[in-house]
């Protein structure tokens, strides 16, 4: 950039600015500005033409006045005139004024565009840069319309200067962000990707920002960038610090570029090509190795740059989640940072570890740092770091260390910051419930929790204790004893009184044998707290008293006395008064039988989602607790609740818990969920309110539209249509939360040999990488069937919900029967063909039990949904169904015939499928057998 | 009650900070955390002095704490309270405080405040106690708070001051003696007007003050009479005055008035006579307001013509409307110009006119003008076309002047002085009366 020469200093401007600076008051400043504005107006109005210098000076003054916060409504024309100047300084001021002041709907925009066009087509690189900067700064739709076609050409042209290329790349990025529909990369795609190979590091750095943005929207088109990025990265990583000269920052080669490359790679799944992958793994290892080397400089910039790359690399490793070795190494590296002097590093390390803890490969490695994390929780000075430490403890908790972690969190609660106490309480409550091995521990923990941080224990927490105590009879006695002891403390929290009142009212009889806790002692203890409590608690206590009358008839007179007292029966609170009156009457009128019936022990609570989890979710939003964890927590919580109905042995047997640990690694609902896990899913499907994943797929064999997947965050709807060997599938992604999903990407992969059997091209319909809360976006997938197939393609969805990365893999409901073309034929045709397909491998037969009622109409509908033609009056037995159809694939057509013989008495079916290809008949038979 | 008092300069730096009650600190400690007193100080600076939008309300509520402020040139005076105080009381106190400071060291400016740092704290200790306003009478204060070094007073003097300040007539000490008993009486009025372009009065009122300077010996009893309509009518009914028609015309209706604490209010309530023992030196005897039968000293007749988009022609005529023998002074007419003015040509018959770009106005100044005259100015304003379609709001033309009569029509009928103990009578007192009418906000729409 040419330096501003001394003679160009604009003295008038300097004087004006120093005048303004010297103004004593706002009024004086306004006066000075008014004077200057009048002066400029008279100059602009003046009859003689101004020379470039004064024009520049006045425009500069106007700009300064505007930046001081005053309205400027003239001078635009003069600024536009400056654009056509040949002097750099004048042109620059002109562009500056326009970038700052011209709004997009100005009528001058045409003139400006014209000037920009001239500069873009000039061969002067500085002018081109100025013009590009102006476009990027204004970034309006009009600008995009005018230049979106031009800029890619400049970007990829061979003779463009490097500095212009940089500006062009960033300018294009800006335009793409404002109006993505106008920036069509199309033919430029591959050339833009190849900018990654550019000699000039600046160009690569600029281009990579563009490519990252573009590939988030169209991952497929930019797929080729992965291998280029990997090779670029490996070149940088393996280079000595002196190789890159200008781009070495405090002995770290090209740190910004490296970070951007790593971030770009995070948009894609691990590379499939072995060589590329190997190279990438090598790079990541080198980065991890470098972190171990002694620092080359003591400067903070050196370590900052190094750590930036390291953290980006670790996020990539976490993103891939497939290299156990790297994950463990990353974890160890983070472990070192946990004790680092630098607060930011400790924070980042804890945060990254939180995500690492949810990976099956590194969970154990994370657990080794438990002591350090606990220490951080206790001694860390910065509250945000302590918060992360608490999050990490929560994330790393499992059956093996639950007791320790819960104990530590409890002890931390006493000194915790007020802002995070409630959340801590919820977490402790959840962990205690989730990993409770024996219930006495659970009850102890929660009562401790109420004792320590009673104010922060929300209603949900103590509701939950009571639910669990009521549902589990083996813990009731212990609970009664414990609360009785807890209530003996001279000062106890109201929540404790609530729990105590409820539990003693229900199960006080279990400890009444001990003279130290005789009924009257229990009652007196409770009643001693009565006057200190709020109205709702008092109401609860009154109910406890009436329960006492039922449990211990000997207390009846004492309690009636209490109820009869003026402070109860004439209480100013309506609720309390009503309870007192009703309970008094009930106790005096009703016989013991009636009393016993009315005041029977509470029935077990229905099993449902733990209310605490819902509370935590509500409180935290996406927060640091990943949804996977929540899902898992819910299931394990369910296990605890469901313990009663399953005989209570499940919690002590090791196998289900091991399975659950296994589940943690995968997303909550995957098509490939382990079968042991699906047992649990089935057990708790009511709570989760969603069919198991295989059921999803089964549903879609006979229909084309419906809901493919649904959880608390996301709903995926599907709509599909098929013709011949082609199909089109509309996927609707609905964000069920109020928080936006960012970096939302989906990829469709065909595992194994399916790739050669099915071909699909998918396109996004103007889809943003973020989905607003409550919004729905649509994706279209085109499918072409090349030849018959049996497996289904996989749909992988990744997005960030709050901080947590969500990863889902689903099977797309594409089955071979979708490509059926119905064929009508007469009876004898059918049997003729049937006989033709008589080779043993062409026939597939299955005899199976009916899963649903054998309703003829339902069966018919299902068979029609299958895609074949249902042939009436063909089979001699009217009960039987026969169908015929041709499967259309690109390679061949496969004729298929089907016969379904229901047996109503035995509730059995016999299904026979014959087709010209053995694999087809087998697959069809499998698919259909699940349907009836 | 007032919790604290702060004085800021134009930059928002605190010059004086006096906290009377701790509650104002506590009020803000919860909202911002950190040190208490500093917070109240900072809150006002951030939210009022440095506010992005100009704060026009003199009362600002921040974090349940009220800030009452007045501005004198570049100085901000802010009273802070946590309680629900009488806002009028607080402002009255702030004005009094300004008066006291002016009486002690002249103009309230940053320089003066910095130079009289100790004095101001001393005054604040005296006139405000635990947030309750105390004696703020300058004369009384001057007896015991002086600017000349520490002069140890004798026991008698001290006890005299005590008995005076705590006594019934706290504003005057005994034993004052003058060789020449003299008395100056000024009637100062400011007339406010808003007039439509067609010459219709939209609103007008006069707010006036009677300021006295008395140099009288002993403890004189004074009685002040003016042409108050109620008094004149009462007397007219009694048949003591000559012509009821004439007195009716010359009497004025006072809408409301307030008096100096020396005036016996009970007597005013019962007889509507103003009698008092005056403080020594200068003081404001009364304040009043009238809205009826106002004599408007000047009439402004504007004529604005837009010639195309780039030119504006303005013609303004002023007519003086009082006795030809009287002379108005310091006349200034301010004609606002549009914001896109690029040049102005002015022609005027009398005085000097100039386009002041810094104020976006043409200022026309005439030194002197007799009654029943008229004068004219015409100006051509060139405009710069702008891309803004906003129309010019046409702010009103305003005017400043000073005339030697009371536009409300108030007349002093008598001021009698009785001093029974010393032997001087009403006739021995030399009395001076002066009327000054000034413009307040005197505007005519154009």
String of DSSP letters for A231-290: HHHHHHHHS-TTTTGGGEETTEESHHHHHHHHHHHTTSPPPSSHHHHHHHHHHHHHHHHH
Q: What is the pLDDT of residues A544-582, one digit of tens each?
A: 888 888 878 788 888 888 888 888 878 888 888 888 888
Give Cα separations from B231 to A793, A847, B240 (angstroms).
105, 121, 12
Which is nearest to A354 in space by CA: A383, A326, A382, A314? A314
Residues of chain B positioned with their CB less than 8 A from the CB of A24:
10, 74
Write the CB contacts of A564 (distance below 8 Å, at least 6 apart in sequence): A584
Over residues A819-832, mean pLDDT: 80
| More confidently predicted of A402 and A656 | A402
A74/B384 touch (CB, cutoff 8 Å), yes or no: yes
Decide if the complex's ipTM is over 0.85: no
What's the CA angle centered on A881, arms A877 and A885, to 5 degrees?
A: 135
Which is nearest to B433 in space by CA: B417, B413, B418? B413
B10/A45 touch (CB, cutoff 8 Å), yes or no: no
| More confidently predicted of A802 and B218 | B218
Q: Is the pLDDT of residue A636 over 50?
A: no
- Spatial separation of the C-alpha atoms in residues A636 and A654, rounded to whole Å: 13
- Spatial separation of the C-alpha atoms in residues B400 and B39, rounded to whole Å: 42
Residues of chain A positioned with their CB less than 8 A from the CB of B10:
24-26
Phi-psi region of A252 (alpha: psi -120 to 50; beta: other; left: phi over 0): beta
pLDDT at A698: 67
- Spatial separation of the C-alpha atoms in residues B311 and A651, rounded to whole Å: 92
- Spatial separation of the C-alpha atoms in residues B114 and B108, rounded to whole Å: 10
DSSP 8-state code for residue B45: I
Outline where DSSP puts E strands in A402-516.
none
Residues (pLDDT < 70) of chain B are 25-38, 148-153, 236-249, 387-389
A74/B358 touch (CB, cutoff 8 Å), yes or no: no
A45/B386 touch (CB, cutoff 8 Å), yes or no: no
pLDDT at B90: 95
- Spatial separation of the C-alpha atoms in residues A605 and A690, rounded to whole Å: 22
pLDDT at A720: 82
Task: Please tell me the number of Cα atoms within 13 Å of A522 on its side-chain side.
Answer: 34
Q: Is the pLDDT of residue A89 over 70?
A: yes
Question: Which of A27, A38, A71 should be substituted to probe chain B, the one whose Cβ sees the most B Cβ atoms within 10 Å?
Answer: A38
pLDDT at A767: 60
Q: Is the pLDDT of residue A881 over 90?
A: no
Residues of chain A positioned with their CB less than 8 A from the CB of B345:
none
Of B10, B384, B387, the CB nearest to A41: B384
B277 contacts B172 by C-beta, under 8 angstroms: yes
Residues of chain A positioned with their CB less than 8 A from the CB of B54:
26
DSSP 8-state code for residue A502: H
Query: Å from B332 to nearest chain A CA?
Result: 19
pLDDT at A672: 36
Question: Which of B13, B384, B386 should be substituted to probe chain A, the one whose Cβ sees the most A Cβ atoms within 10 Å?
Answer: B384
Write the CB contacts of A611 (distance below 8 Å, at least 6 apart in sequence): A460, A463, A464
B353 contacts B344 by C-beta, under 8 angstroms: no
User: Which range (A142-151, A202-211, A344-353, A805-814) has the least confidence?
Assistant: A805-814
A909 labeled part of a ligand binding site: no
Q: What is the pLDDT of residues A572-622, one digit of tens each?
A: 888 888 888 888 888 888 777 777 777 777 777 776 656 667 666 666 544
- Spatial separation of the C-alpha atoms in residues A732 and A753, rounded to whole Å: 28
Residue A825 in 3-state DSSP? coil
pLDDT at B93: 94
**B-chain residue closest to A69, CA distance:** B52
A177 labeled part of a ligand binding site: no
- Spatial separation of the C-alpha atoms in residues A253 and A249, rounded to whole Å: 6
- Locate all alpha helices (DSSP H) within A139-244, ordered by sequence: 141-147, 150-156, 162-178, 189-193, 201-217, 225-238
Residues of chain B positioned with their CB less than 8 A from the CB of A45:
342-343, 382, 384
A822 contacts A866 by C-beta, under 8 angstroms: no
| More confidently predicted of A609 and A73 | A73
- Spatial separation of the C-alpha atoms in residues B229 and B252, rounded to whole Å: 5
B398 contacts B442 by C-beta, under 8 angstroms: yes
B342/A76 touch (CB, cutoff 8 Å), yes or no: no
Beta bridge partners of A820: A887
- Spatial separation of the C-alpha atoms in residues B398 and B440, rounded to whole Å: 10
Question: Which of B342, B344, B360, B382 should be substituted to probe chain A, the one whose Cβ sees the most A Cβ atoms within 10 Å?
Answer: B342
Confidence of residue A217 (pLDDT cuts 50, 70, 90): confident
- Spatial separation of the C-alpha atoms in residues A140 and A712, rounded to whole Å: 38
B343/A45 touch (CB, cutoff 8 Å), yes or no: yes
Give Cα separations from A770 to A220, A776, A799 (angstroms).
18, 11, 8
- Spatial separation of the C-alpha atoms in residues A778 and A719, rounded to whole Å: 10
Over residues A684-701, mean pLDDT: 50
Of B359, B384, B390, the CB nearest to A45: B384
B10/A24 touch (CB, cutoff 8 Å), yes or no: yes
Q: What is the pLDDT of residues A355-384, one digit of tens each?
A: 888 777 777 778 888 888 888 888 878 888
Q: What is the pLDDT of residues A703-718, one digit of tens each?
A: 778 777 777 778 888 8
**B-chain residue closest to A68, CA distance:** B52
Quote the distance between the C-alpha of residue A188 and its chain's center. Answer: 33
**B-chain residue closest to A25, CA distance:** B10
B342/A38 touch (CB, cutoff 8 Å), yes or no: yes
Which is nearest to A276 in space by CA: A340, A219, A320, A336? A320
- Spatial separation of the C-alpha atoms in residues B382 and B398, rounded to whole Å: 21
A637 contacts A434 by C-beta, under 8 angstroms: yes
DSSP 8-state code for residue B445: -
Using a CB–CB cut-off of 8 Å, the residues of A that contact B are 24-26, 31-32, 34-35, 37-39, 41-42, 44-45, 71, 73-74, 76, 106-108
- Spatial separation of the C-alpha atoms in residues B17 and B9, rounded to whole Å: 12
Residues of chain B positioned with their CB less than 8 A from the CB of A71:
388
- Spatial separation of the C-alpha atoms in residues A247 and B349, rounded to whole Å: 75
B341/A44 touch (CB, cutoff 8 Å), yes or no: no
pLDDT at A681: 33
Residues of chain B positioned with their CB less than 8 A from the CB of A19:
none
Residues of chain B positioned with their CB less than 8 A from the CB of A418:
none
pLDDT at B318: 93
A108/B387 touch (CB, cutoff 8 Å), yes or no: yes
User: Which range (A169-173, A216-220, A781-785) has the least confidence?
Assistant: A781-785
Residue B30 in 3-state DSSP? helix
Question: Which of B357, B380, B383, B395 should be substituted to probe chain A, the one whose Cβ sees the most A Cβ atoms within 10 Å?
Answer: B357
A472 labeled part of a ligand binding site: no
Query: Å from B367 to nearest chain A CA?
Result: 25
Average predicted confidence (pLDDT) for chain A? 78
Give Cα separations from A470 to A70, A429, A432, A559, B285 (angstroms).
70, 17, 17, 24, 85
A225 labeled part of a ligand binding site: no
Q: Is the pLDDT of residue A788 over 50?
A: yes
| More confidently predicted of A262 and A526 | A262
Q: What is the pLDDT of residues A106-135, one digit of tens each?
A: 678 888 888 899 998 888 889 999 999 999
């Amino acid at each position: 950039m040419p330096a501003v020469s001394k003679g160009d200093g604009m003295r008038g401007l300097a004087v004006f600015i120093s005048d303004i600076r010297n103004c004593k008051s706002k009024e004086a400043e306004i006066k000075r500005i008014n004077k200057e504005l009048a002066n400029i107006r008279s100059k602009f109005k003046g009859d003689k033409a101004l020379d470039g210098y004064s024009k520049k000076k006045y425009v500069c003054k106007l700009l300064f006045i505007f930046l001081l916060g005053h309205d400027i409504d003239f001078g635009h024309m003069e600024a536009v005139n400056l654009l056509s100047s040949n002097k750099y300084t004048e042109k620059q001021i002109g562009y500056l004024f326009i970038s700052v002041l011209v709004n997009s709907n100005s009528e001058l925009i045409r003139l400006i565009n014209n000037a920009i066009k001239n500069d873009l087509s000039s061969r002067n690189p500085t002018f081109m840069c100025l013009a590009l900067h102006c476009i990027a700064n204004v970034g309006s739709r009009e600008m995009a319309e005018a230049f979106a076609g031009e800029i890619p050409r400049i970007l990829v042209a061979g003779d463009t200067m490097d500095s212009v290329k940089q500006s062009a790349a960033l300018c294009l990025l800006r335009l793409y962000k404002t109006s993505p529909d106008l920036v069509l990369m199309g033919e430029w795609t591959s050339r833009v990707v190849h900018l990654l190979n550019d000699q000039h590091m600046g160009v690569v750095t600029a281009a990579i920002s563009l490519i990252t943005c573009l590939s988030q929207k169209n991952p497929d088109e930019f797929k080729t960038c992965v291998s280029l990025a990997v090779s670029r990265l490996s070149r940088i990583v393996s280079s000595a610090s002196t190789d890159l000269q200008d781009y070495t920052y405090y002995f770290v080669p090209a740190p910004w570029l490296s970070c951007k490359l790593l971030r770009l790679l995070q948009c894609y799944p691990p590379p499939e090509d072995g060589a590329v992958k190997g190279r990438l793994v090598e790079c990541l290892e080198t980065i991890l190795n470098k972190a171990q080397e002694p620092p080359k400089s003591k400067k903070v910039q050196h370590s900052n740059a190094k750590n930036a790359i390291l953290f980006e690399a670790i996020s990539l490793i976490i993103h891939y989640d497939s290299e156990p070795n790297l994950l463990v190494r990353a974890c160890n590296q983070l472990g070192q940072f946990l004790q680092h002097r630098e607060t930011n590093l400790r924070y980042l390390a804890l945060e990254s570890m939180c995500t690492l803890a949810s990976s099956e490969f590194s969970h154990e490695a994370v657990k080794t740092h438990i002591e350090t994390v606990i220490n951080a929780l206790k001694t860390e000075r910065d509250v945000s770091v302590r918060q992360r430490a608490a999050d990490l403890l929560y994330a790393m908790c499992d059956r093996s260390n639950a007791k320790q972690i819960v104990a530590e969190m409890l002890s931390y609660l006493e000194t915790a910051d007020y802002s995070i106490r409630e959340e801590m309480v919820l977490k402790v409550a959840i962990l205690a419930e989730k990993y409770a091995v024996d219930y006495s521990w659970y009850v102890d923990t929660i009562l401790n929790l109420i004792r320590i941080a009673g104010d922060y224990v929300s209603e949900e927490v103590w509701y939950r204790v009571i639910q669990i105590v009521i549902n589990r009879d083996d813990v009731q006695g212990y609970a009664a004893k414990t609360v009785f002891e807890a209530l003996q403390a001279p000062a106890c929290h109201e929540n404790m009184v609530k729990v105590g009142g409820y539990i003693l009212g229900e199960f006080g009889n279990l400890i009444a044998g001990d003279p130290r806790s005789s009924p009257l002692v229990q009652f007196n203890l409770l009643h001693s707290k009565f006057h200190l409590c709020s109205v709702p608690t008092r109401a609860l206590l009154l109910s406890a008293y009436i329960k006492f009358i039922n449990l211990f008839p000997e207390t009846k007179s004492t309690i009636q006395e209490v109820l009869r007292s003026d402070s109860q029966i004439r209480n100013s609170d309506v609720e309390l008064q009503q309870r007192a009156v009703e309970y008094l009457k009930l106790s005096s009128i009703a016989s013991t039988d009636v009393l016993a019936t009315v005041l029977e022990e509470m029935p077990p609570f229905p099993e449902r989602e733990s209310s605490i989890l819902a509370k935590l979710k509500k409180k935290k939003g996406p927060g640091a607790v990943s949804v996977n964890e929540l899902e898992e927590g819910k299931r394990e919580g369910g296990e605890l609740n469901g313990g009663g109905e399953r005989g209570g042995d499940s919690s002590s047997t090791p196998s289900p818990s091991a399975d659950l640990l296994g589940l943690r690694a995968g997303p909550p609902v995957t098509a490939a969920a382990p079968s042991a896990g699906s047992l649990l899913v089935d057990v708790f499907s009511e709570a989760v309110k969603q069919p198991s994943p295989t059921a999803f797929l089964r549903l879609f064999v006979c229909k084309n539209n419906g809901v493919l997947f649904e959880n608390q965050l996301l709903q995926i709807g599907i709509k599909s249509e098929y013709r011949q060997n082609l199909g089109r599938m509309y996927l609707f992604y609905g964000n069920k939360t109020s928080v936006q999903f960012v970096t939302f990407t989906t990829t469709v992969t065909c595992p194994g040999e399916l790739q050669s059997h099915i071909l699909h091209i998918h396109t996004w319909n103007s889809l943003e990488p973020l989905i607003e809360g409550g919004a729905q976006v649509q994706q279209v997938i085109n499918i072409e069937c090349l030849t018959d197939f049996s497996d289904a393609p996989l749909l992988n969805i990744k997005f960030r919900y709050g901080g947590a990365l969500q990863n889902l893999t689903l099977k797309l409901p594409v089955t071979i029967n979708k490509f059926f073309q119905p064929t009508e034929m007469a009876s004898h045709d059918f049997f003729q063909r049937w006989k033709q397909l008589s080779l043993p491998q062409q026939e597939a037969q299955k005899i199976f039990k009916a899963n649903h009622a054998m309703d003829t109409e339902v069966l018919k509908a299902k068979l029609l949904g299958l895609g074949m033609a249902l042939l009436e009056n063909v089979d001699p037995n009217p009960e039987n169904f026969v169908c015929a159809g041709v499967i259309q694939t690109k390679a061949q057509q496969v004729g298929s015939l089907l016969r379904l013989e229901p047996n109503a008495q035995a509730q059995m079916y016999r299904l026979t499928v014959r087709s010209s290809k053995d694999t087809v008949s087998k697959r069809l038979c499998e698919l259909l057998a699940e349907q009836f | 009650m007032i919790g604290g008092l702060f004085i800021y300069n134009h930059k928002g730096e605190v010059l004086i900070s006096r906290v009377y009650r701790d509650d104002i600190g506590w009020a803000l400690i919860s909202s911002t955390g950190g040190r208490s007193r500093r917070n109240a100080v900072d809150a006002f600076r951030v939210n009022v002095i440095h506010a992005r939008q100009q704060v026009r309300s003199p009362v600002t509520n921040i974090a349940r704490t009220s800030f009452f402020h007045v501005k004198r040139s570049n100085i901000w005076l802010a009273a802070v309270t946590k309680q629900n105080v009488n806002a009028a009381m607080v402002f009255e106190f702030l004005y009094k405080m300004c008066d006291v400071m002016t009486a002690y060291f002249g103009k309230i400016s940053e320089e003066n405040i910095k130079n009289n740092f100790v004095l101001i704290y001393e005054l604040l200790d005296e006139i405000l106690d635990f947030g309750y306003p105390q004696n703020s009478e300058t004369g009384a204060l001057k007896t015991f708070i002086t600017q000349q070094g520490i002069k140890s007073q004798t026991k008698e003097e001290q006890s005299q001051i005590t008995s005076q300040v705590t006594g019934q007539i706290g504003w005057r000490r005994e034993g004052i003696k003058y060789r020449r008993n003299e008395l100056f009486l000024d009637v100062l009025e400011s007339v406010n007007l808003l007039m439509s372009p067609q010459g219709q009065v939209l609103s007008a009122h006069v707010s006036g003050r009677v300021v006295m300077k008395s140099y009288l010996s002993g403890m004189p009893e004074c009685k002040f009479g003016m042409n108050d309509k109620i008094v004149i009518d009462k007397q007219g009914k009694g048949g003591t005055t000559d012509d009821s028609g004439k007195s009716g015309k010359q009497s004025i209706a006072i809408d409301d008035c307030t008096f100096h604490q020396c005036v016996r209010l009970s007597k005013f309530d019962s007889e509507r006579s103003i009698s008092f023992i005056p403080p020594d030196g200068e003081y404001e005897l009364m304040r009043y307001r009238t809205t009826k039968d106002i004599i408007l000293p000047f009439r402004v007749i504007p004529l604005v013509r837009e010639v195309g988009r780039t030119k504006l022609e303005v013609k303004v005529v002023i007519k003086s409307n009082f006795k030809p023998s009287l002379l108005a002074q310091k006349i200034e007419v301010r004609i606002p110009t549009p914001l896109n003015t690029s040049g102005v040509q002015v022609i005027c018959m009398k005085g000097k006119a100039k386009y002041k770009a810094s104020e976006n106005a043409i200022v026309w100044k005439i030194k002197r003008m007799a009654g029943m005259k008229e004068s004219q100015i015409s100006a051509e304003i060139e405009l710069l076309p702008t891309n803004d379609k906003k129309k010019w709001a046409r702010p009103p033309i305003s005017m400043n002047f000073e005339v030697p009569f009371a536009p409300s029509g108030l007349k002093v009928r008598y001021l009698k002085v009785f001093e029974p103990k010393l032997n001087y009578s009403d006739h021995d007192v030399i009395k001076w009366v002066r009327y000054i009418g000034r413009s307040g906000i005197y505007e005519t729409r154009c």
